[in-house]
Chain A
Amino acid sequence: KAGVTQTPRYLIKTRGQQVTLSCSPISGHRSVSWYQQTPGQGLQFLFEYFSETQRNKGNFPGRFSGRQFSNSRSEMNVSTLELGDSALYLCASSLDRGDRDTQYFGPGTRLTVL
């Protein structure tokens, strides 16, 4: 079974631009979560989508948004990029069977903002 795939793997943008990252979950997984990983702040939860609805949201500004499609694929968008948005963006998918469900992470998209 294919794992979680994220595209693109690397991205360079300039301040003020916007960016869209894509995540394809493992087949059959209905929950997709997004995380930001930086050397200073570590891994921080952005948001989670389930059945095309945002189920939970972390403490990030409104410039960060996402959506999920009917096939469970998810995208996240960051508008008006800032230098501090440079990070590894990870998505994770799970079956969402309930308590302590295993999350499977993709390899991430490394975003560099110049």
Chain B
Amino acid sequence: TQLLEQSPQFLSIQEGENLTVYCNSSSVFSSLQWYRQEPGEGPVLLVTVVTGGEVKKLKRLTFQFGDARKDSSLHITAAQPGDTGLYLCAEPNNNAGNMLTFGGGTRLMVKP
């Protein structure tokens, strides 16, 4: 089972600032998913990236998959308090049903 390392672990910023969180592995990802988890809720899938070099945008969120498929980043432009939450990257292991291997997460707080 490969290990997914996320950085930073914690991030506290002011509304309107930009930020980037990272997800890295020493092995190649088959694909990678990003989730957001809010307090009292389960994680919600934001995006799946599959192809090396792929860039996907979801409103103010931009997801990049590294060319070598060993890293990924999530960039948020002009963060808002509603972006507050735990951001998790996860690798699906489709050789074993629907198992997901999660990174440790980045806890983001956006202050008004």
Contact = CB atoms under 8 A, between A and B. Distances in A.
A and B physically associate: yes
B88 interface: yes
A102 interface: yes
Given A31-B97, A45-B99, A56-B96, A100 B31 contact: yes
Interface string A24-46: 00000001010100000011110
B60 to A, nearest CB: 22
Contacts, number: 66
Contact of B88 (A31, A43, A104, A106): A43
B92 interface: yes
B28 interface: no
Contacts of A107: 40-42
Interface stretch (B15-23, B51-59, B70-78, B100-108): B100-108
* 6 A-B pairs with least C-beta separation: A105-B42, A43-B102, A55-B97, A56-B97, A56-B96, A42-B104
Given A43-B88, A43-B102, A45-B100, A100 B94 contact: yes
Interface residues of B, number: 23
A65 interface: no
Contacts of B94: 98-100
A58 interface: yes
Contacts of B90: 43
The A interface, classified by DSSP as helix, strand, loop or mixed, is strand
Interface of A: 4, 31, 33, 35, 42-45, 48, 50, 55-56, 58, 90, 92, 94, 96, 98-108
Of the listed residues A42, A43, A96, A99, the one surrounded by the most CB atoms of chain B closer than 10 A to its CB is A43
Contacts of A96: 97-98
B50 A45 contact: no
Contact of B44 (A48, A58, A105): A105
Nearest to A93: B98
Nearest to B104: A42
A91 B50 CA distance: 24
A90 B102 contact: no
A94 B100 CA distance: 12
B97 A108 contact: no
